[in-house]
Structure 1
Amino acid sequence: MFDVIVVGGGPAGLNAALVSGRQRRRVLVVDSGSPRNAPAAEMHMFLSRDGFSPAELRKLGRDELSAYPSVECRDGRVDDVTRADGGFIVTLADGQAYQSRKLVLATGQVDLTDTVAGLAERFGRGVFHCPFCHGWETRGMTLAVVGHELPQVMQALYVADRFSDDVVVCTNGHPVPEPAVGRLAAAGIPVREAPITRIEGEEGDLRLVFADGVVLERQAVYHRAPTRQHSALAEQLGCELLPDGCVRVDEFQRTSIPGVYAAGDTARLAALPDALTFVVTGAADGARAAVWLDQELFREDAGLAG
């Protein structure tokens, strides 16, 4: 019996395990090895680790967990979670099953980057989703913003305000959303509505090839890709989901299912418009979940629950 099983070995999951391990809780981390930021060579806005490799951060995190004998890390995919005996039974793809009193879901999201040929191969390396994460590195560059949904198109106003005076919106065969038409025009941001056939080139030297034969040369592209949950476990457990598919949590990182916490970009508060995709906020969510989870375990064991 583990005190807590953490599903997901990214910053949120590893930090939850670290905090729990330091409280001498018995913890199992199960990691499928397919993090959302795998394509990115660098991460940013993490104090003391700005520009650090996301893969190296995960490696260092696991190394640090090895100092705590009560924490175990297991590579694998969780296929099933059921509630049993006041806790949970977690079953992996290889058939191994483990029991825990509490559960932390830190499974993250998946970016759906199949809208344009060549986009997925360059995602995180020339094609970027977030100007907070990559804006500084693209300052002064020629930029394209790909997308036709209002949040995608409005991203062009932001990057034009902060990082570049040469931004083109490419809606890939769709009209510009009406609320953005006047704003883009007032900002002097041109729009190409022709379908995009493919994206070619390397980071710093990209080419957007359109169905009408036009080729737009850009140094970087922004695309706020739609997302889905990386794992169906939250839905399987019956956790409440928000309209965008994120798991709804409260200020304690608790889901709507007792004993189940969620951390990182898999979850968000209902009051927030989006799940934050930053490494540092994911790590913070993991710590917050572990602190309040530990207090819940303590109250239960001391007969103070209720």
Structure 2
Amino acid sequence: MYDVLVVGGGPAGLNAALVSGRQRRRVLLVDSGRPRNAPAAEMHMFLSRDGFSPAELRRLGREELSAYPGVELVEDTVVSVAPTADGFEATLARGVTHRARKVILATGQVDLVDEIEGLAERFGRGVFHCPFCHGWETRGKALAVLGRELPQVMLALYVRDRFSEDVVVCTDGHPVPEPAAGRLAAAGIEVRETPLVRIEGEEDALRLVFADGEALERQAVYHRAPTRQHSTLAEQLGCTLLADGCVRVDEFQRTSVAGVYAAGDTARMEALPDAVTFVIAGAADGARAAVWIDQELFREDAGLGG
């Protein structure tokens, strides 16, 4: 019986395992090895690691966990988690089952990138989803904002205000949402509604090719793709999901299911309008979840109640 099962080996899961291991908890970390930010060459806004490789951060995190004998890391996928009389039972893809008293879901999200030729291959490398994560590197460049939903289109106003005066909105064959049209025009932002055929080239030398044969040369593209949960475990367990698909958590990272916590971009508090998907925020969520799980386990074992 493990004290804590951590599902997901990104910044949130790794930090949760680290904090728990340092408190001499017995921890099982299961990682499928498919992180959301795998395409990105750099991460930002992580103090002392600005511009660092996300893959290298994960490698170092795993290496640090090896110093704590109570932490076990397994490369596999958790396909189901079910409550038991004394905790939870998890089944892995290869058929092995494990039991744990508490669960931390750090399974993350998946970006549902538009089906335009060449777009997915450049996501995280020339095509970016977040101006906080990548805006500084695109300052003063020729930019495009790709999308047709109101939040996607309105992103152009923010990018125009913060980073570049040369911004073009591409709606891929859809009309600009009415609330945005006047604002874009007032800001001097060009709109192209012609369908996109493909995106070519590399970062700083991208070429957007339209159905009418015209092309637009850009140095970077912003595309805030919709997301879905990477895993169905939260839904299986009956955790409350918010309208955007994030798992609802409280200030302790607790879900609506007793004994189940969630951390990283898989979850958010209901009071927030959106998930904060920074690497450092995920790591902080993982630490917070581990601290309060440790205290919950301590109270249970000491007979202190809730």
- Does TM-score exceed 0.5, indicating one fold? yes
User: Match of 2:223?
Assistant: 223
User: Match of 1:69?
Assistant: 69
Distance in 2 of aligned mates of 1:117 and 1:155? 22
1:265-304 matched pairs, under 5 angstroms: 265-304=265-304
- What residue identity is the alignment partner of 2:282? G
User: Match of 2:18?
Assistant: 18
1:208-287 matched pairs, under 5 angstroms: 208-287=208-287
Distance in 2 of aligned mates of 1:269 and 1:86? 27
TM-score normalised to structure 2 length: 0.99
- What residue identity is the alignment partner of 1:188? G
Distance in 2 of aligned mates of 1:92 and 1:203? 39
User: Match of 2:60?
Assistant: 60
Distance in 1 of aligned mates of 2:227 and 2:172? 18
TM-score normalised to structure 1 length: 0.99
Instruction: Say whether residues 1:188 and 2:150 are aligned partners.
Output: no
Distance in 2 of aligned mates of 1:179 and 1:86? 53
- 1:172: how far off? 0.6
Distance in 2 of aligned mates of 1:125 and 1:305? 50
1:29-108 matched pairs, under 5 angstroms: 29-108=29-108
Give aligned pairs, total.
306
- 1:40: how far off? 0.2
Kindly provide the CA deviation profile for residues 210-229 of structure 1, in whole angstroms up to 9, marking residues without a partner as x. Answer: 11111011000000001100
Kindly provide the CA deviation profile for residues 134-161 of structure 1, in whole angstroms up to 9, marking residues without a partner as x. Answer: 0011111100000011110011001111
- What residue identity is the alignment partner of 1:173? G
- What residue identity is the alignment partner of 1:133? C
- What residue identity is the alignment partner of 1:142? A
| More displaced 10-residue stretch of structure 1: 131-140 or 113-122 | 113-122
Kindly provide the CA deviation profile for residues 202-246 of structure 1, in whole angstroms up to 9, marking residues without a partner as x. Answer: 111111111111101100000000110000000000000000000
- What residue identity is the alignment partner of 1:181? A
Task: Extract unaligned runs of 5+ from structure 1.
Answer: none
- What residue identity is the alignment partner of 2:224? R
Task: Extract unaligned runs of 5+ from structure 2.
Answer: none
Distance in 2 of aligned mates of 1:167 and 1:86? 56
Kindly provide the CA deviation profile for residues 97-135 of structure 1, in whole angstroms up to 9, marking residues without a partner as x. Answer: 100000000000000114311100000000000000000
Distance in 1 of aligned mates of 2:119 and 2:262? 30
Distance in 2 of aligned mates of 1:177 and 1:299? 53
1:173 alignment partner, SS class? coil
CA contact (8 A) 2:114 2:225 kept: no
Distance in 2 of aligned mates of 1:282 and 1:212? 43
Identical aligned pairs, as a percentage? Answer: 80
